[in-house]
A and B are shown apart, each in its own frame.
Chain A
Amino acid sequence: MRRYQAPLYGFLSRRVGSHADDIFQETWIRVVRARESFDTERRFAAWVYQIANNLCRDRYRRQDSMRRAVDSFRVEDETLREAPAGPALPEGDRMRERVLALPDRLREVLVLRYYEDLGEEEMSRVLGIPRGTIKSRLHAAVKALRESMARDGEEQA
């Protein structure tokens, strides 16, 4: 547990931002509960990421349905839309916001590929999607990031 705590927490921070603490705890509890179903042929880290990622997906699914319920009751206030721009954020924080603003299905692919350095085969098992889908989602994630960076650049100019 000590060995994998930092990579797992890093993965969760990039995947769900401020909800990392809850999911970090829950992941380890699930790992303990499911430890006998662990296939020793697999890499332990990939298995832990799979459990964590499923918990993240559940969290987003719950949040989405809650947001939809709240949105259906909300009265739009136009004055809230144009909030004054705050002080410029450091690059690390800006990138954090960009990554966390990506749609969940793109972010999970980007985080596992780039930050956790998982291969396509392993990602396919972790995410339960075909390799072709991983490739196309990764392409879409990079494109979305580039667009977001370009937008930021225009706003600053």
Chain B
Amino acid sequence: MSDSHDDETLRDLRGLSRELDAFRAPPPPRALFEATLARAKRELRAQIAARTLPAGFRRELAMTLVIALPPLCVVLAWNAYFLPRLAGYLGAWLPAPVATALAFAYAVGALAWLALTAGFLPIVAHQRARLRAREA
């Protein structure tokens, strides 16, 4: 669209200003504004609460770690023992490259499982702390 066309449209719009100005928008009803303000404050408070650590989180985390770390250490130790031998066991009845690939896939899988499990511990502790806070 050319500039002269734009000017024409704006002129046209200004030409309609008397009619357009007649369409006056009402102010927001006071009750609506108050209700909206209250809702917005609640939302803000909920957002802030969701970001702050619930009371007792550290204690829950410590408890979760005490419960979860020994079995995780056992799994880690088992894998540390088993992994170097795995390629050898598999190599007894599979071609060497296939055995190596399988051992590698197992190692990746085991590491991912360990990382995920360890990563979930703080989440579990957070959930437990929130539940306790809600129950209290």
Contacts and interface: CB of A to CB of B under 8 A. Distances in A.
**Pairing of A with B:** yes
Interface stretch (A40-48, A52-60, A141-149): A141-149
A142 B13 contact: yes
B23 A14 contact: yes
Given A21-B32, A24-B36, A28-B40, A9 B27 contact: yes
B134 interface: no
Contact of B39 (A5, A28, A115, A139): A28
Given A92-B24, A132-B1, A146-B16, A29 B9 contact: no
Interface residues of A, number: 36
B28 A24 contact: yes
Contacts of A32: 40, 43-44, 47
Interface residues of B, number: 28
Contacts of B36: 1, 5, 24-25, 28
Contacts of B32: 21, 24-25
A29 B43 CA distance: 7
Contact of A25 (B24, B26, B35): B35
B39 A142 contact: no
Contact of B1 (A25, A29, A99, A136): A136
Interface in B1-59: 1, 5-6, 9, 12-13, 16-17, 19-20, 22-29, 32-33, 35-37, 39-40, 43-44, 47
B47 to A, nearest CB: 7
B67 to A, nearest CB: 36
A6 B40 contact: no
Given A6-B28, A9-B26, A33 B43 contact: yes
Most central of B12, B24, B28, B40 by chain A CB within 10 Å: B28
B23 A142 contact: no
Given A91-B22, A146-B16, 16 more contacts: A5-B28, A10-B25, A10-B26, A13-B26, A14-B23, A21-B29, A24-B28, A25-B35, A25-B36, A25-B39, A28-B36, A28-B37, A32-B44, A114-B20, A139-B1, A142-B12
9 contacts: A1-B37, A5-B28, A8-B28, A13-B25, A25-B35, A29-B43, A95-B22, A139-B9, A146-B12
Interface of B: 1, 5-6, 9, 12-13, 16-17, 19-20, 22-29, 32-33, 35-37, 39-40, 43-44, 47
